[in-house]
Amino acid sequence: MIEQVGFGLVAGCIVLAALLVARAKNAIHGVLWLGVVLGATAVLYVMLRAPFLAGIQLLLYVGGVMTLMILGVMLTRHDQHEAALERKRPWLAGVLSLFLLGMLVTAIQTSPELHASEAAPATVKDIGRSLLTEHVLAFEALSLLLLATMIGAIVLLRRDRPDRLVEESR
Amino acid sequence: MLASPVSLALTALLAPGAVALLLAVATPLRNRKSAIVLSVLAALSSLVAAILLVKGQLTPTPPQLLTVPWLLQGGVPFAEIGLRIDGISASMLLVVTFVASCVQIFSVGYMHDESPPAQGRYFTYHSLFLTAMNILVLAPNLLQLFLGWELVGVTSYLLIGYYYRKPSAAKAAVKAFWVTKFADMGLLIGLLVLRSKTGSFDWDATITPQAANLVTLLLFVAVMGKSAQFPLHIWLPDAMEGPTPVSALLHAATMVAAGVFLIVRGWPLFELAHSTRAFMLGLGSVTALLAATMALFQNDIKKVLAYSTCSQLGYMIAALGAGSLLGGFFHLTTHAFFKALLFLGAGSVIHAVHSNDLRDMGGLARKMPVTTLTFVIGALSLAGLPGLAGFFSKDLILEAVGEHGFSLWLVLLLVSAFLTAFYMGRLLLRVFFAPATEKSSHAHESGGFLLLPLGLLAVPALATGYFGGMFGQLYGTAYHFHLGNIGILAAGLGVLGLLLSYVLYRHRAEHPALLAPLGRLIEHGPMDRLYEGGFHRVALPFAALVGWIDRYLVDGVMNLTGLAFIVSGQKIRRIQTGIATDYVLATVGGVLALLLYGVMR
Amino acid sequence: MTLGLCLILSAALFCIGLYGLLTHRHAIGLLLSLELMANATNINLIAFSRFRGDSMGQVFALFSIALTVTEVVVGLAIVILLHRAYRDARVGRASEFRH
């Protein structure tokens, strides 16, 4: 019972905060509400017996991504006007999204295999072993990708790049 | 036996094909000397394969077929493509690859002054031509033959228009293309009729004589175009705008003979079609005579040879019309050799004198001994001097035509044999033995690349006549040479023609008084006049009518359609906003629509 | 709390993200929406892992999170570049795809 209420609360938080992200008029507000979504998701992970993932979520998302986002907004904001997030055609987007939601919910409801019983949760040990045995190639590839991203971001943002695609002066 | 006939035939087909493809794709290869090396090597390997193939066919073997189903319609093939190896295709393959090899080697020297990319283009076309010709020759049915037929048409267009910066060459290429394409409609319709009557594209399917007449008549229209028969011969003289080796290969030895080959291949059909064959006999004889007359008054060395080609093709058609398969094909073979030799000789002369005009030539016998010797061999062979190749094949034709008794067609052919000797005599005298002119006095003998093919071709031009038995064997028909009255008469007429030309043109370039009016008439071009008259009276009003329909009805519909597309395009263009989210919206919409469709099903 | 409920939550989050993606014109807004959608998929992975008793889902969620981080980094770099180029990070201005 207490679990049900907890899930309801967390889910409500996530959906509400997500809606506020989607409808945010101010970029900083949007980023902050995204932080709420991500944090609530971390709580949900704990409830789903995935505490390791919850930690990662907090560390990477709330700690890393959020900071980056805020920095990004700060770097690109020069006046109040630009922090404002413009929106367009909300009706069409709303109808399309609701339509997709309807289809997904119907699919979930009518799927027979979803009422699986709970099983023993995976431990950090399992995850670590799996990462370094079965998925070691993907793991290494990912580390390469992270390195490439780092270099890429530096190269993209270098100010003295000679082959600048778009002229600085514009 | 080193290799199976099928693998040999595949080699002959694929070696030039691979080279043509490679050179077409790989520009760096094409723009260097490597194009020449590859192309010549491919031609030579085809030639070796063809020689081995013919060697294998000398012992009687049943025809070998290698076919792949093509255009499957519900598991049932619409047609087949592949190879058919028998005496006919093997011997034709030998002729084609031999002449092609000679011409390509000749071209190495002849095209030497062109820029490397232009040479690469030239040799790429040559490889493509050889591939197309081999597809045609090895065709197991009429559909594949049609494919090769159209392909050689395209390469002919490309090679006539090789000097595409020259307006006359570009025009000639288009003219050749249109005239032959117009005629090819006959082949296409004939194919469809054949398919509807017999259910296949095979030439040996059972068919009623009536249907055979219809089909062969339609096929013959295409032959008239490709083999330059009156009145569709008009493109061939203009096609001489191409480089001379091209004229030798395509417009004398092989491509124009493809029409004759089509009849040989489709013989089971043509044998039944008596009406078509009667028509062929008449038309061939008339073409032989008319073209020979026109050749008499040309001053361009290549045009003389071009009209001569028309005339000789007329002989072959007449032979087939008279029912002599061997006569037609034998003459095709000997003609391919000596006419290619003559054209290459003419190329050597043109290369030395830098002019096509007979009046610029003269006195070349001393300066160019090898060219002269080989050219004389070719010319005498064409004139039908006894003992040379042309004599035997021409004799076979005349015997076949004369078999059914004395007829008008025989007279026409005999007269044109006389005329052939006459104009060849004139050509020889003017080019080699007349006093030297300003231009020809600086001429000197050509290099080895030009002389080697001349030597190579002179051998069969001399000696093919003695291998009639071998051809008979390849064809499964007996061949015995016997000198009948007609043969003696033809030989006599040939010698008479040569002597007469010697008497008349020994000391002067102009035509004698007796022939002058005829010459003037032909110089003004009776055919051109006829065409012009027909053009103004009939064709132009018709064209105007068609043009009106085209402009206001067809084009109207087309323009409306086009306009609709333009307008809708301009409207639709607004969709392309260039804004990323709009594209996302479109993608999401599409995915959702697909999902919905999937659910609904 | 069942698998079905988790999936519905994830679906809702995904659709909200989609809505944001379709409506926002500002590049930052688009990135935020993309984060929402990525988060929705992660919830799915974890939920399946939980109810199937398979560690695979968590491993993949881990990968997914790392990938999302790289996506954010590159995305933000592009946003900053856009801003430098146009003095404005609204995607609507960056309609050079059109040309």
Residue numbers in C near B584 (CB within 8 A): 21-22
State chain C's mean pLDDT as an integer: 83
**Stretch B157-183: mean pLDDT:** 83
Parse chain A into domains and list their residue ranges: 1-79, 123-170
List all residues of chain A from 100 to 129 with a beta carbon under 8 Å from chain B. 100, 103
| pLDDT for C98 | 46
Structure tokens belonging to residue B288: 């032989």
Q: Please tell me what DSSP assigns to residue B254.
A: S
C53 interfaces chain B, CB cutoff of 8 Å = no
Task: Determine whether the interchain pair A11/C15 forms a contact, defined as Cβ–Cβ distance below 8 Å.
Answer: no
Q: pLDDT tens digit string along B25-82?
A: 877 777 778 888 888 888 899 999 888 888 888 777 778 888 888 777 766 777 788 8
Residue numbers in B near A92 (CB within 8 A): 585
| pLDDT for A140 | 92
**Residue A1 reports pLDDT greater than 50:** yes
Task: Determine whether the interchain pair A44/C43 forms a contact, defined as Cβ–Cβ distance below 8 Å.
Answer: yes
CB neighbours of B509 closer than 8 A, spacing ≥ 6? B358, B359, B430, B434
| Whether B261 contacts B294, CB under 8 Å | no
Which chains, if any, share at least 3 CB pairs under 8 A with chain B?
Answer: A, C
Q: Which CATH architecture has domain A1-79?
A: Up-down Bundle (1.20)
The fraction of chain A above a pLDDT of 70, given in percent, is 82
B581 interfaces chain C, CB cutoff of 8 Å = yes
| Whether C91 contacts C85, CB under 8 Å | no
B590: nearest CA partner in chain A: A96
Q: pLDDT tens digit string along B193-235?
A: 888 888 788 887 777 888 888 888 888 888 888 888 877 777 8
Query: A49 pLDDT band (50/70/90 cuts)?
Result: confident
- Residue B585 Cα, gap to closest chain A Cα (Å): 8
Task: Determine whether the interchain pair C94/B580 forms a contact, defined as Cβ–Cβ distance below 8 Å.
Answer: yes
Q: pLDDT tens digit string along A107-166?
A: 888 877 666 666 677 788 888 888 888 889 989 999 999 999 989 888 888 876 555 555
- Residue A51 Cα, gap to closest chain C Cα (Å): 10
| pLDDT for C1 | 63
- CATH number (domain holding residue C64): 1.10.287.3510
Nearest CB among A53, A76, A88 relative to C61 is that of A53
B155 CB burial (10 A radius; 0-12, 13-18, 19+):
buried
List all residues of chain A from 83 to 122 with a beta carbon under 8 Å from chain C. 84-90, 92-94, 96-98, 100-101, 104-105, 108-109, 114-122
Calpha distance A117→A137 (Å, rounded): 32
Task: Determine whether the interchain pair A96/B592 forms a contact, defined as Cβ–Cβ distance below 8 Å.
Answer: yes
Total count of domains within chain C? 1
Name the H helices within B354-447: 364-367, 369-383, 389-402, 408-428
Task: Determine whether the interchain pair B577/C30 forms a contact, defined as Cβ–Cβ distance below 8 Å.
Answer: no
Lookup result for tokens 């959020």: A66
Q: Which site among B574, B581, B585, B595 would you substitute to test the C interface, given the most C Cβ atoms closer than 10 Å to its Cβ? A: B581
B593 interfaces chain A, CB cutoff of 8 Å = no
B585: nearest CA partner in chain C: C22
A93 interfaces chain B, CB cutoff of 8 Å = yes
**Residue B349 reports pLDDT greater than 90:** no
Q: Please tell me what DSSP assigns to residue B300.
A: B
C78 interfaces chain B, CB cutoff of 8 Å = no
| pLDDT for A82 | 47
**Stretch B344-354: mean pLDDT:** 86
| pLDDT for C40 | 94
| pLDDT for A43 | 92
Three-state SS sequence of B472-511: HHHHCCCCCCCCCHHHHHHHHHHHHHHHHHHHHHCCCCCC
Number of residues that make up chain A? 170
B278 interfaces chain C, CB cutoff of 8 Å = no
C83: nearest CA partner in chain A: A76
Question: Which residues span the domain enclosing C34?
Answer: 3-97
B588: nearest CA partner in chain C: C18
Structure tokens belonging to residue B323: 């029912």
C22 interfaces chain B, CB cutoff of 8 Å = yes
Q: pLDDT tens digit string along B566-583?
A: 777 777 666 666 667 777
| pLDDT for B516 | 63
| pLDDT for B1 | 47
Q: pLDDT tens digit string along B476-528?
A: 777 777 777 777 888 888 888 888 888 777 776 666 666 666 666 565 555 55
Indicate the pTM of the whole model: 0.61
State chain B's mean pLDDT as an integer: 81
C32 interfaces chain B, CB cutoff of 8 Å = no
| pLDDT for C97 | 44
C30 interfaces chain B, CB cutoff of 8 Å = yes
